């Protein structure tokens, strides 16, 4: 099968849902052409990596100024600011030229920010819109809990516009994908096109887990550290949970592992808190950590940070929101805690009980093998493609 995959960010071969999709498709013998937007030297390097792995590339440059101008165009409309945020006439022209020349079997358009390209392409070839998450609740929460007045103001605009726009997009495409049943349920409410919404869970490559000696007093938080839900989680943990843990476990260290840490997160760095910035492999850090923490305050879909910790058999303590979209059970696959006091107590319980850490970590690994094996999720994704293609 020949697949054109439009994605808003250049997929990172070491950590990205879109990359896992692409990797699974390649390993299943399909041809993949990625169309995306390039923002700088790091993106150019990743595009080179993808090309070396056998992925075709269509790209166009976009600047922060252009993105800002794109967003302002929607201010006086009913559409969310994100609808035009990543628009590029150059990318559209290149994609249309490719589609007319190569006639791909299916066009996979990922995220609301790329949906407008799909609207232009749907008359040329079968298109599937991969919404990933239902965004309206995420921005409703960010309007209250986001870090900074600018984010909260933008989130208020998005929260009022997203419900109608996301419903409208499900009407425009014959198939919409989301990653959890909860997202499907929320997106289906008052939606006459609910039958077009299907679940496509994320998958991870299930490689043999090599034994690595873990550090004895290291907590880890992972994620892109300028993404507003992750920023909120970091500040919540450091300000409301970390001081209690340091009093009871003075040898404890915290690693904040992820690209693009905000200046406020960089300022948290100390002898006890390490802010890594981008690392080549988050998995290497997870495998050495004692416990992974996911004190998610708000978000959407499934938290990849929890899945990746499961994959490395790292025991996890998460907030209820960090468990959203998963069938994992509190006390079996991870420990779930809501309040700062309960969260600190759950981390302490694991720190003081090596046998419990081993049991929880092994159960998390087994959960991934059962529910998120990349080979199985790729088969399910291809079945979605075939269903759209059969509609003509």
Question: How far lies 242's CA from each of 33, 249, 287, in Å?
Answer: 45, 10, 21
Judged on CB neighbours under 10 Å (0-12, 13-18, 19+), 106 is buried
β-sheet with 253-257: strand ranges across? 273-277, 253-257, 218-222, 291-294, 316-318, 335-336
Answer whether residue 300 shows pLDDT above 70. Answer: no
CATH of span 2-203+373-390: 3.40.50.2000
The Cα 157–Cα 21 span in angstroms is 31
Helical residues (DSSP H) of 226-330, grouped into ranges = 228-240, 242-248, 263-266, 282-288, 304-311
Answer whether residue 169 shows pLDDT above 60. Answer: yes
Q: Name the token pair of 191.
A: 């939606």
Compute the average pLDDT of residues 194-210.
88
Helix (H) or strand (E) holding 70, with range, is: helix 64-73
Answer whether residue 276 shows pLDDT above 90. Answer: yes
Q: CB of 302 within 8 A of CB of 325?
A: yes
100 φ, ψ (degrees, to nearest 5): -65, -35
The Cα 88–Cα 92 span in angstroms is 6
For CATH 3.40.50.2000, list the domain ranges present in the chain: 2-203+373-390, 218-371
Long-range CB pairs of 324-327 (<8 Å, 24+ gap) are 324/180, 324/182, 324/296, 324/299, 325/179, 325/180, 325/181, 325/182, 325/183, 325/301, 326/302, 326/367, 326/371, 327/367, 327/371
Compute the average pLDDT of residues 170-184.
93
The Cα 311–Cα 323 span in angstroms is 15
Compute the average pLDDT of residues 197-221.
88
Give residue 313's pLDDT.
95
Lowest mean pLDDT among 20-34, 185-199, 223-237: 223-237
Give residue 50's pLDDT.
86
The band of 114, judged by pLDDT with boundaries at 50, 70 and 90, is very high
Query: Helix, strand, coil shares of the chain as percentages rounded to 5?
Result: 50, 15, 35
Helix (H) or strand (E) holding 360, with range, is: helix 354-371
The Cα 357–Cα 314 span in angstroms is 8
User: Quick check: helix, strand or coil at residue 32?
Assistant: strand
Check: pTM over 0.95? Answer yes or no.
Answer: no
Answer whether residue 130 shows pLDDT above 80. Answer: yes
Answer whether residue 16 shows pLDDT above 70. Answer: no
Q: CB of 202 within 8 A of CB of 377?
A: yes
How is domain 218-371 classified at the CATH fold level? Rossmann fold (3.40.50)
The Cα 239–Cα 237 span in angstroms is 6
Tens-place pLDDT, residues 38-82: 988 888 888 888 888 899 999 999 999 999 999 998 888 999 999
Among the listed residues 63, 42, 37, the one whose alpha carbon sits nearest the alpha carbon of residue 278? 42
Compute the average pLDDT of residues 293-310.
84
Give residue 392's pLDDT.
66
Tens-place pLDDT, residues 144-168: 776 677 778 888 888 899 999 999 9
The chain-wide mean pLDDT, for the chain, equals 91
Highest-confidence segment of 294-298, 302-306, 372-376: 372-376
Planar angle of CA 351, 356, 359, nearest 5 degrees: 135
């Amino acid at each position: 099968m020949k697949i054109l995959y439009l994605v808003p960010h250049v997929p990172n071969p070491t950590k990205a849902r879109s990359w896992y999709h692409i990797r699974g498709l390649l390993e299943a013998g399909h041809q993949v052409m990625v169309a995306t937007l390039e923002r700088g030297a790091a993106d150019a390097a990743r595009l080179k990596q993808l090309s070396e792995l056998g992925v075709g590339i269509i790209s166009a440059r976009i600047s922060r100024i252009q993105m800002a101008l794109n967003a302002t165009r929607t201010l006086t409309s009913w559409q969310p600011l994100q609808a035009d945020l990543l628009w590029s006439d150059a990318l559209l022209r290149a994609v249309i030229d490719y589609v007319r020349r190569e006639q791909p079997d299916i066009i996979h358009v990922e995220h609301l920010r790329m949906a407008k390209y799909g609207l232009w392409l749907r008359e040329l070839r079968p298109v599937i819109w991969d919404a990933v998450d239902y965004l309206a609740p995420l921005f409703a929460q960010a309007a209250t809990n986001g870090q900074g007045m600018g984010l909260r103001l933008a989130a208020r605009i998005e929260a009022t516009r997203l419900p109608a726009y996301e419903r409208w997009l499900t009407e425009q495409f014959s198939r919409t994908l989301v990653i959890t049943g909860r997202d499907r349920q929320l997106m289906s409410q008052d939606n006459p096109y609910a039958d077009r919404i299907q679940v496509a869970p994320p998958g991870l490559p299930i490689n043999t887990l090599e034994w690595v000696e873990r550090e004895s007093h290291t907590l880890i938080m992972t994620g892109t550290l300028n993404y507003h839900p992750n920023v909120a989680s970091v500040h919540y943990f450091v300000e409301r949970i970390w001081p209690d843990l340091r009093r009871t476990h003075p040898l404890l260290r915290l690693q904040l592992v992820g690209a693009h840490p905000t200046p406020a997160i960089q300022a948290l760095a100390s002898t006890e808190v390490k802010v890594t910035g981008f690392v080549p492999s988050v998995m290497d850090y997870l495998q050495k950590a004692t416990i992974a923490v996911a004190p998610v305050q708000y978000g959407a879909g499934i938290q990849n940070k929890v899945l990746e910790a499961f994959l490395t058999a790292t025991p996890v303590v998460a907030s209820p929101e960090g468990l959203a979209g998963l069938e994992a059970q509190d006390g079996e696959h991870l420990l779930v805690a809501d309040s700062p006091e309960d969260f600190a107590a759950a981390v302490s319980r694991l720190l003081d009980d090596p046998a419990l850490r081993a049991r929880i970590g092994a159960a998390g690994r087994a959960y991934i093998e059962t529910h998120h094996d990349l080979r199985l999720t790729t088969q399910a994704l291809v079945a979605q493609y075939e269903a759209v293609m059969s509609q003509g």
